[in-house]
Homo-oligomer: A and B are copies of this chain.
Amino acid sequence: MKSAVKAQQAEDSAETGAQQIRDAIREAIVERRLSPGTKLSESDVGNLFNVSRTLARAALQALSYEGLVNVEKNRGAFVAYPSPDEARQIFAARRLVEPGILREAAARITAGDISQLRQLLLEEGRLMSERGQTARRAEIKASGDFHLMLAEISGNAIMQRFMEELVARSSLVIALYGQSTASSCGHSEHGDIIAAIENDDLDRACQLMLHHIAHIEADLDLRERKSLGLKEAFEL
């Protein structure tokens, strides 16, 4: 999957410890094992991974730069709880960049890439039919991986990293505001996009991508419900 960028970072492998913790927590957040708003105290994280608070703190800081965690001064770190407005911005950003990434990817795509994409789709479909929490989590990840793989194929490491952030944050938004119990991503739409790329119909591929993002967003209920409880929740 993420061969190019990872290989560069891992030139002396053995990531500095904090990175491993960061990755572990990120995965937990993206796979929704950690709910938005959950407190991540430095001591707890440290104990959990058997490291000092120093490393736990570094990992949480890193996650805060990715927007997955909010650190409030003197209060601690919490799994991000994106506001409806933030959610809209995340998807606006995706609408803004994904067509461009798609175009760049299409210009460099190889037959091998396409077969890898197809394989990803297959895997995704397989997971969709399975039952159980772990399958559901893997499915969430796989559906995001489609978008990430396009970014990787584009060959632009900067856009790739940006997409990683956007996909991860999208996962949080869907966890918070998603309505349909069904999959977070219309599965077939991924396949349609690949087909359009294969046919060199770039405009159509981009349009499909925009529709796809719109579909995800349409499944959200972005009504403000934060702290409305204070007054109106009982004045109903």
A residues near B, CB below 8 A? 12, 14, 16, 54, 58, 61-62, 65, 67, 73, 86, 89-90, 92-93, 96-97, 100-101, 104, 155-159, 162, 166
CA separation between A166 and B158, bound complex, in Å?
9
Closest chain-B Cβ to A25's Cβ sits at a distance in Å of 16
Closest chain-B Cβ to A166's Cβ sits at a distance in Å of 8
Chain A: interface secondary structure?
Answer: helix
Name the contact of A97 in the complex, choosing from B58, B90, B96 (C-beta under 8 A). B96
CA separation between A34 and B67, bound complex, in Å?
28
CA separation between A40 and B62, bound complex, in Å?
20
CA separation between A166 and B96, bound complex, in Å?
16
Q: A16-B73, A86-B158, A96-B100 are in contact. List 10 more A-B contacts (CB 8 A).
A: A61-B62, A62-B65, A65-B65, A67-B158, A89-B156, A89-B158, A89-B159, A90-B158, A96-B104, A96-B159
Name the contact of A61 in the complex, choosing from B12, B61, B100 (C-beta under 8 A). B61
| 20 A-B pairs with C-beta separation under 8 A | A12-B73, A54-B54, A58-B58, A62-B65, A65-B65, A67-B158, A86-B157, A86-B158, A89-B155, A89-B156, A89-B158, A89-B159, A90-B158, A92-B159, A96-B97, A96-B100, A96-B101, A96-B104, A96-B156, A96-B159
The closest CB in chain B to the CB of A160 belongs to B89
Q: Across the interface, do B61 and A93 meet the contact criterion of CB distance under 8 Å?
A: no
Q: Among A58, A61, A157, A162, which residue has the most Cβ atoms of chain B within 10 A?
A: A162
Q: Across the interface, do B104 and A92 meet the contact criterion of CB distance under 8 Å?
A: yes
Across the interface, which residues of B come within 8 angstroms of A12, CB to CB? 73
Q: Among A67, A92, A104, which residue has the most Cβ atoms of chain B within 10 A?
A: A92
Across the interface, which residues of B come within 8 angstroms of A93, CB to CB? 156, 158-159, 162
Closest chain-B Cβ to A150's Cβ sits at a distance in Å of 13
CA separation between A159 and B159, bound complex, in Å?
12
CA separation between A62 and B18, bound complex, in Å?
13
